[in-house]
Structure 1
């Protein structure tokens, strides 16, 4: 497939550069708003593909709760992004708190048991969509 290891070398260089960039970042380059967009897209997909079935089984409130949760997450993500942009980079404690919160957000979408039938896939939707 790659007898000269050109693709392997290129992949390793890209991943190494990404790891270096992450390690050298004072504030983690983590796009919280992309999480919100992914969640919005996932919720729209649920509504599109399963909304009528859910409504026919009296689960209208479940869809409404989902919509409200997505709206709240979007608002929180927007507020968080404003905090990221205005963080006092001279205060290591506030930067550390912000970075810790970003890492915890990523962990919130991990299921340690994996997905049903796919135990090695631990990232739950919307990240796997």
Structure 2
């Protein structure tokens, strides 16, 4: 399957059930991050540490754009979260994004909306 991803330096650990960090104490995003897609890098510059979402209708090229970003991004590790996608897209993308740099997180639209975790 996959291997464990280790970082050279992790400054802290957080509990899975920890409270979210205070938004006023978060680091300022002031360094550009190259996504490898010239249209986005030139017009919609993203920053290091910034999260982005891609929302659009079916059949308009979201998967193609994700593929371009994943293959062109200047990052050591890419966390790709597909939330609410149909099972077919999850299956196709899990084969498409097989790369040791990628950490894929999927939550299919066929699964219940709010999972009931048991401790």
Higher strand share: 2
Q: TM-score, structure 2 length as denominator?
A: 0.26
Higher helix share: 1
Q: TM-score, structure 1 length as denominator?
A: 0.25
Structure number with larger C-alpha Rg = 1
